């Protein structure tokens, strides 16, 4: 392990994102100062960073239509069910590792 790995490990931790619910919806949440998208399908929770991977625009303030959010800066479009970039761009949303504990969803960043 080098120094950078050690520093990263010191700063990353599990974040309590939301309660486990029935699912199907896409939630836009602010958690510990970061905007995120949380979604569940077939009991599998996924949590994505709401920062556009192009230049970091906060997509948490953008309108979500169905399962799609579009970045207002350059028009990259993302499917919030899987984080895929579906228009213009070359990078998907960053997905965080998740776990369920005591009926809460936790994400790691």
Q: Which of 74, 84, 97, 104 binds ligand FES (CB under 6 A)?
A: 74
Q: Is 63 in the site for ligand FES (CB under 6 A)?
A: no
Q: Is 84 in the site for ligand FES (CB under 6 A)?
A: no
Q: How far is the CB of 101 from ligand FES (least distance, A)?
A: 33
Q: Is 52 in the site for ligand FES (CB under 6 A)?
A: yes
Q: Is 80 left (phi over 0), alpha (psi -120 to 50) or beta?
A: alpha
Nearest to 19 by CA among 5, 4, 29, 10: 29
Contact letters for ligand FES, residues 4-43 (x by CB under 6 A): ----------------------------------------
Q: Is 23 left (phi over 0), alpha (psi -120 to 50) or beta?
A: left
The 68-70 sheet, strands edge to edge = 64-65, 68-70, 77-79, 85-87
Q: Is 80 in the site for ligand FES (CB under 6 A)?
A: no
Q: Give 71 or 105: the residue with its C-beta nearer to ligand FES.
A: 71
Report the interface residues with ligand FES, using CB under 6 A: 52, 54-55, 57, 71, 73-74, 76
């Amino acid at each position: 392990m080098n120094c950078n790995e050690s520093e990263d490990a010191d700063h990353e931790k599990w974040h309590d994102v939301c309660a486990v619910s029935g699912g199907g919806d896409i939630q836009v949440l602010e958690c510990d100062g970061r905007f995120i998208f949380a979604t569940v399908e077939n009991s599998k929770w996924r949590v994505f960073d709401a920062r556009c991977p192009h230049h970091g625009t906060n997509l948490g303030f953008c309108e979500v239509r169905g399962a799609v959010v579009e970045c207002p800066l350059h028009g990259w479009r993302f499917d919030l069910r899987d984080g895929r970039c579906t228009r213009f761009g070359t990078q998907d949303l960053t997905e965080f590792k998740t776990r369920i504990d005591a009926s809460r969803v936790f994400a790691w960043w």
